[in-house]
Structure formats: C-alpha cells, structure tokens
Amino acid sequence: MATFADHDRSYDEWWAALSPMLTNDALVAYGDTNPARVRPSQVTGAGEVASAPNFNQMSVLVPTDVGQYTIELVRQGDDNPNGTPSWFVDRLTPPADLG
C-alpha cells in the first residue's frame, strides 16, 4: 500500500516499484493507472488481517490518509531463494466513500 500511495514520481518509476508486487490480474487492472490520480499519499498505521479464508488468500485492512483500504493478497510460487511462497497484491479497494 505504501508503494501504491507513493505517487510523487513518474509513472515509470511508480510502476517499476509497484508491478513486482502484483498478481497477473492486478497487473492488467492497474497497468493504466495514473499515479497522479491516486488519492492516498501515505499509510497512517499498521495493516490488520481482516480475513484469511484459506492458506493462499488474505484480506488486510490498511489505514491511509484518505481512509481504510482493503488489500486482497494471494500467495503464489515457491521460487524464492529460501523456498517460501510470496504474497502478491490482487486488489486494492479504496474506502467506500472514494469508490
């Protein structure tokens, strides 16, 4: 979320930092995002797990300066050097009033 909110840079810089954290679906969904139009500019507290319906999915609530975002994470792959799967962002849902 902090990388998504860090929009005071060019699209190329912003996307280079954000894209490695995204699932394939999220790459498509957020690929045309204009970082200058991203509303939050900072994370204001620690994320809190809202739900974890199974071993490979998790929803995290993250407070920002414009309200609480819900981040949907998906666990993928075993190709890290230590063999541990990585968590990737599948969806960033803004607060309802920003919808």
| pLDDT tens column, 18-50 | 999 999 999 999 999 999 999 899 999 999 999
pLDDT tier, 84 (very low <50, low <70, confident <90, very high otherwise): low
For 8-24, the pLDDT digits (tens) are 899 999 999 999 999 99
Structure tokens at 21: 């954290």
Query: How many whole angstroms separate alpha carbon 61 and alpha carbon 76?
Result: 20
Token output for 85: 């799967």
- Between CA 57 and CA 23 the distance in angstroms is 12
In whole angstroms, what is the distance from residue 13 CA to residue 35 CA? 10
Instruction: Output the pTM of the full model.
Output: 0.85
Which of these, 65, 59, 61, 66, lies nearest to 97 by C-alpha position? 66
